[in-house]
């Protein structure tokens, strides 16, 4: 600021010299205020050359005049260029924080998704499975296209199912791919036979299914660790009556179908008719 003021004050004449000693160079004029301070009420340009009797050199007098004109200038005050734009500075300071917030948000989303995926995987492996009924073998209890929730935990707490429970199972032969949903008719130690289309378990008729079986079956005893399964739609079910399937090891069982969840209009707890 001192330099700017100094450049604008090059024309004023020397301050501090006596009026009788001052002569001004051609083209140099004192401001009216400085003329009055020197006792000259009608300032006019001096025609005499400047003498060497001045007490202060011209450059120093110019600086002194600048100090007198602007005595309150603060040299330490920041210039407009130094001060900068407060809004711009605030925006620049907020950008790193915004980037940090975005990275933190993405990290939290990824962590949440991974945790959710692990939880779902553990639930599907050890707790439940969603199965779709395909075919008419369990009519009228379950219709084709319906979705059931299969509880796997029952196999860990109680490996041997009970009479009447509806189970999802695999079949032992490779030609039967996928899973099948059937009802447990006989458990280990039971005697099962079919006479005149009617299923007998331990000499008692089994009424869990509908319709008559196509053909008879000699009596057999269910081995240990095995079950005898059948579809509720007795004429249209491929089950333990087929010699290729026979009784099933309980290790082939996936779990118990407990809840019909779709369609919503038929949502219900499945009736197992257990003994």
CB-based contacts of 185: which residues, under 8 Å, 6+ apart?
A: 163, 192, 199, 201, 206, 208, 228, 229, 230, 240
Q: Which is the catalytic residue, given 65, 137, 237, 240?
A: 137
> Which of 152, 182, 237, 240 is flagged as catalytic?
182
Residue 137 annotated in active site:
yes
Q: In angstroms, rounded to a whole number, what is the distance separating the alpha carbons of residues 11 and 196?
A: 134
| Contact partners, residue 12, CB within 8 Å, separation at least 6 | 30, 31, 34, 61, 62, 65
Q: What are phi and psi of 149, to 5 degrees?
A: -95, 120
Q: Report the distance separating Cα 121 and Cα 117, nearest Å.
A: 6
Cα 236 to chain center, whole Å? 49
- Greatest Cα-to-Cα distance within the chain, rounded to the nearest angstrom: 152
Tokens of 24: 């001004």
State yes or no: is 268 an active-site residue. Answer: no
Residues classed as catalytic? 137, 182
């Amino acid at each position: 600021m001192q330099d700017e003021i100094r450049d604008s004050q090059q024309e004023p004449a020397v301050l501090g010299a006596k009026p009788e000693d001052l002569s001004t160079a051609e083209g140099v004029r004192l401001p009216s205020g400085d003329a009055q301070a020197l006792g000259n009420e009608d300032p006019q340009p001096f025609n005499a050359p400047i003498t060497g009797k001045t007490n202060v050199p011209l450059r120093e007098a110019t600086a002194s005049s600048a100090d007198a004109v602007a005595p309150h200038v603060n040299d330490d005050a920041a210039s407009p260029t130094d001060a900068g734009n407060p809004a711009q500075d605030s925006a620049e300071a907020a950008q790193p924080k915004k980037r940090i917030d975005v990275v933190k948000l993405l990290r939290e989303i990824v962590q949440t998704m991974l945790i959710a995926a692990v939880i779902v995987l553990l639930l599907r492996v050890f707790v439940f499975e969603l199965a779709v009924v395909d075919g008419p073998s369990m009519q009228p209890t379950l219709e084709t296209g319906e979705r059931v929730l299969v509880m796997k935990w029952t196999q860990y707490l109680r490996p041997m199912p009970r009479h009447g429970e509806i189970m999802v199972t695999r079949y032992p032969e490779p030609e039967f791919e996928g899973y099948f949903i059937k009802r447990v008719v006989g458990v280990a130690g039971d005697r099962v036979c079919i006479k005149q289309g009617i299923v007998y378990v331990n000499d008692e008729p089994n009424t869990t299914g509908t319709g008559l079986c196509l053909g008879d079956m000699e009596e057999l005893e269910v081995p240990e660790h095995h079950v005898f399964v059948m579809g509720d739609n007795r004429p249209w079910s491929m089950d333990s009556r087929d010699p290729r399937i026979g009784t099933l090891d309980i290790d082939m069982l996936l779990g118990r179908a407990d809840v019909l969840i779709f369609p919503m209009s038929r949502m219900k707890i499945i009736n197992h008719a257990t003994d």
